[in-house]
Structure 1
Amino acid sequence: MSQETYELKAEARERVGKGSSRELRRNGMIPAVIYGDKQAPLSIALSTNEVTKRIHAGGFMTTIATIDVGGQKIQVLPKDYQLDPVRDFTMHVDFLRVSGNTEVTVDVPVHFENEDKSAIKQGGVLNVVRHTVEFICPANQIPEFITVDLSGAKVGDSIHISAVKLPKGVRPVITDRDFTIATIVAPAAGVEEEVTEEAPASEAE
């Protein structure tokens, strides 16, 4: 399961727009919106320091939070956040209202284990095709990560989603194929072949 829930204090925003947002950021606050659950969107302002701390702690997008807006506590899941491309600080956050029976779509990180029990120990190279996988799951059962067991994997093997034991209620968004998460490839040889194949094209130019 994902990390424990946390709470953020927020203020309701009566004014919205670029001017209002700039003023908030100058005062150490981040504009945000809570939407979903068949209710009207709610514009709020959050502490920049608190939100940044939560983003850097990891698991921000897969952890349910409680937002206290003037005493009203709302359970939410972060769905998106925007960073300033130059100064790299948080500009805006979107939150989705959730309840116990809410299903959400989330990107879950992939972790690998038992590399020492696979061909990687003899020099094989792990080629990660998907660092995250998109799942549909109950909002209160979002896995912090999924684990791929590499025990016995040989050079040339592909590890598919069907080989991963998923928590109850968690299912991949892609259902029309048994997609690949990673492969084990031979070292160096593959690189040499690529260079050999590309050389004639370079010479032709």
Structure 2
Amino acid sequence: MKFVAFERSKQGTGASRRLRNSGRTPGIVYGSTSAPQLIELDHNALWHALKKEAFHASILDMEFNGQSSKVLLRDYQMHPYKQLVQHIDFQRVDANTTLHMKVPLHFSGEEESEAVKTDKCLINHVVTEIEVACLPANLPEFIAVDLKGLTKGVSLHLNDITLPAGCKAITHGKKNPVLVSVVAPVEEVVVAPVAAPAADAKGKGKGKK
């Protein structure tokens, strides 16, 4: 994805507020051997870009002062209740430096699995993204996970999927985390009604004469 950034000459709370009032969003680009660069972006274009998954999980082409450079979205701040992006941070990308990025998982095929079709199990996506380490050229936009092989009582773990070439999963101490769990359907238990005690032949319970 591509976006255009403009040089921001003023900084400070007042300058940022005036910038937002004019339909711009203040930001910064940092990293590599260059000094941090203050930038501003068109807010409407940025708002629509942030709705796209690729803007969060892929290397972006930033056009700045007539030149293009590779960056990653690292952080952004939203207004507490307005649909307003208050600030955004980008990191420069070095082709030879390993990145640590969270990549979304795209699940498919669960409706065709034995767990769903035959056993009517519920499929729970425990994890929707994983962190990977890779060079910028190997960063995937997403990782496809085929769930056609799911069976009752068997969860899908990280080691069960194939990562894109050049990518290594970062699990922060968890050896083989669960990605998808298969939950068996709850069986209905039918409780028989309790019969009322029958009165004895002598009419027990009636008043004495």
What SS class does the counterpart of residue 169 from structure 1 fall into? coil
After TM superposition, list the pairs within 5 Å mapping 1:55-134 onto structure 2. 55-115=50-110, 116-122=112-118, 123-134=120-131
Structure 2: distance between partners of 1:21 and 1:90: 12
Closer/same/farther in 2, CA of residues 168 and 156 from structure 1, 3 Å limit: same
Structure 2: distance between partners of 1:147 and 1:129: 15
After TM superposition, list the pairs within 5 Å mapping 1:25-36 onto structure 2. 25-36=20-31
User: Which amino acid is the alignment partner of residue 35 of structure 2?
Assistant: A
User: Which amino acid is the alignment partner of residue 185 of structure 2?
Assistant: P
CA contact (8 A) 2:26 2:40 kept: yes
Give 1:26 shift: 0.7
Structure 1: distance between partners of 2:122 and 2:99: 34
Closer/same/farther in 2, CA of residues 85 and 188 from structure 1, 3 Å limit: farther
**What is the aligned residue count?**
186
Higher RCO (C-alpha under 8 Å, 6+ residues apart):
1
User: Which amino acid is the alignment partner of residue 184 of structure 2?
Assistant: A
What SS class does the counterpart of residue 40 from structure 1 fall into? coil
User: Which amino acid is the alignment partner of residue 43 of structure 2?
Assistant: T
The structure carrying a bigger helix percent of its residues is: 1
Match of 1:144 in 2: 141
Structure 2: distance between partners of 1:170 and 1:78: 19
User: Which amino acid is the alignment partner of residue 14 of structure 2?
Assistant: G
Q: Which runs of 5+ in 1 are unaligned?
A: 193-205
After TM superposition, list the pairs within 5 Å mapping 1:43-62 onto structure 2. 43-62=38-57
Structure 1: distance between partners of 2:5 and 2:183: 50
1:157 to 154, 157, 168: 154
User: Which amino acid is the alignment partner of residue 100 of structure 1?
Assistant: A
Match of 2:181 in 1: 183
Match of 1:171 in 2: 168
1:157-204 Cα deviation digits (max 9, x unpaired): 111111111111111111640111111111235x99xxxxxxxxxxxx
Q: Which runs of 5+ in 2 are unaligned?
A: 190-209
TM-score by length of structure 1 reads 0.83
2:6 to 1, 11, 21: 11
Structure 1: distance between partners of 2:141 and 2:67: 27
Q: Give every structure 1 segment of 4 or more consecutive aligned residues whose post-TM-superposition deviation is greater than 6 Å.
A: none
CA contact (8 A) 1:10 1:67 kept: yes
Closer/same/farther in 2, CA of residues 154 and 72 from structure 1, 3 Å limit: same
Q: Could you tell me the percent identity over the aligned residues? A: 33
Give 1:65 shift: 1.9
- Over the aligned positions, Cα root-mean-square deviation in angstroms equals 1.9
Structure 1: distance between partners of 2:4 and 2:172: 39
User: Which amino acid is the alignment partner of residue 88 of structure 1?
Assistant: Q
Give 1:38 shift: 2.7
CA contact (8 A) 1:118 1:150 kept: no
